[in-house]
Structure 1
């Protein structure tokens, strides 16, 4: 097996309209396709970042909550690369997103910060 890259990340949200707004209007991901699956009472929204398919956003009726903090088992967070962390923080802050203070990766010396999506999924900005 020769893995090439991560194809996509699937996220189940609690409120589809709020999460769709967050990922498209706040983070600026592009909608590739949106499908309503009547038999499952579920939306599936395919999103791209810079033209590359990255996230499937799903809605389901009453999905169970998944603990995400502190250090719960499973997917820890989703990180996005940015060129200038201050500019990214300023843009997100202007859209009402609360961010943690900037930290420095002790191994790479790179700067990063965390924020959350509408369902408290931890998201990271990592300066390259």
Structure 2
């Protein structure tokens, strides 16, 4: 077996409409498909980044809360590549998104920083 790349990351939203607006309008992800699954009372929204990597956004009735934070045990975060981390974080702050300060990776020297979606899911911007 040879893994090629990450195809998608899946996110469950507590408020589907708010998260849909965040990922499409604030982050600018392109809508690939949106489907309602009546048997699960659930929406599934497929979103794409320019390179084809996808984010699946789900809604479910009363999903349980999950521990969050960049240093929480489990799947840590989703990292997105950008040309200028400081500028991207400033743009997000200007749109009312909670962000952290720019950090520097001690091993690569690359800049990165975290911001948070409407459910407080930590997302990372990593400078390419």
Q: TM-score range by the shorter chain?
A: over 0.9
Q: Extract structure 1 runs of 4+ deviating beyond 4 A.
A: none
Shift in alpha-carbon separation, 1:97–1:33, aligned structure 2, 3 A: same
8 Å Cα contact 1:111-1:127 kept in structure 2: yes
SS at 1:63's partner residue?
A: coil
CA distance in 2, matches of 1:78, 1:32: 19
Residue 41 of structure 2 is matched in structure 1 by 41
Following TM superposition, by how much is the alpha carbon of 1:85 offset from its aligned partner in structure 2, in angstroms? 1.5
1:113 to 2:113 alignment: yes
Normalising by the residue count of structure 2, what TM-score does the alignment of the two structures yield?
0.95
CA distance in 2, matches of 1:68, 1:91: 23
Following TM superposition, by how much is the alpha carbon of 1:87 offset from its aligned partner in structure 2, in angstroms? 2.1
Residue 66 of structure 2 is matched in structure 1 by 66
Residue 12 of structure 1 is matched in structure 2 by 12
Following TM superposition, by how much is the alpha carbon of 1:68 offset from its aligned partner in structure 2, in angstroms? 1.7
Give a deviation string over 1:21-49, Cα, whole Å, max 9, x none: 01000000000000011111000000001
Structure 1 vs Structure 2 CA RMSD: 1.2
Following TM superposition, by how much is the alpha carbon of 1:86 offset from its aligned partner in structure 2, in angstroms? 2.4
Following TM superposition, by how much is the alpha carbon of 1:91 offset from its aligned partner in structure 2, in angstroms? 1.7
Give a deviation string over 1:47-79, Cα, whole Å, max 9, x none: 001151411000000000110237322111111
Residue 56 of structure 2 is matched in structure 1 by 56
Aligned length: 128
Normalising by the residue count of structure 1, what TM-score does the alignment of the two structures yield?
0.95
Residue 101 of structure 2 is matched in structure 1 by 101
Q: Which runs of 5+ in 1 are unaligned?
A: none
